Amino acid sequence: MSWITEHPALAWLALALALAAFEVASIDFVFLMFVVGALAGALAAALGAPFVVQVIVGVVVSLLGLGVVRPVVVRRIHGGAPTLTGAAALVGKPARVVEAVTESGGRVKIGGEVWSARTEPAGGSSRVTIAPGEPVRVVSIDGATAVVSAVPPYPETPTKSLS
């Protein structure tokens, strides 16, 4: 315990390194703000400030980072667009038909999970059936059912002979 009281700046640096390890694991920029606060505490300790002042400096810098800097960094990283989660994140994703999909039902595999699915209602008397194994794209999520549409096949491209 005497080492910490004799070397407070190094103790703050050790705390900053531990918090940096947590940040690497979480990648959420929360612990990064605590790292900056710990570094500010280390600077205060190196300048000879009493322990209470070191703690106050560390807490104030961390809170300013969380309230001012972190939102700007997160917005910059995510490009201003909100991060979609849950069912909303599935819209636009590719899927593969597991059981034939019609307007009334079927099953698709989306990212390793099997979902109940149906196609969008087709106008008129034509009914769309998508066969097992066919690629589809998720158009929307309706409750626990993925609404999908067929993915048009890619046009054949001529291959060049190497001989």
Q: Which residues of the chain have pLDDT under 50?
A: none
CA dist 30 and 23 (Å) reads 7
pTM of the model: 0.51
CA dist 68 and 64 (Å) reads 6
CATH number for domain 86-150, candidates 1.10.3720.10, 3.40.50.970, 2.40.50.140, 1.10.3190.10: 2.40.50.140
Q: What is the pLDDT of residue 97?
A: 94
Phi, psi angle pair for 80, to nearest 5°: 80, -15
Domain ranges of the chain: 2-77, 86-150
Q: What is the pLDDT of residue 32?
A: 93
Q: Which pLDDT tens digit goes with each residue over 57-102?
A: 999 999 999 999 988 888 888 776 666 777 788 898 999 999 999 9
Q: What is the pLDDT of residue 82?
A: 66
Six token digits for residue 121: 């209602």
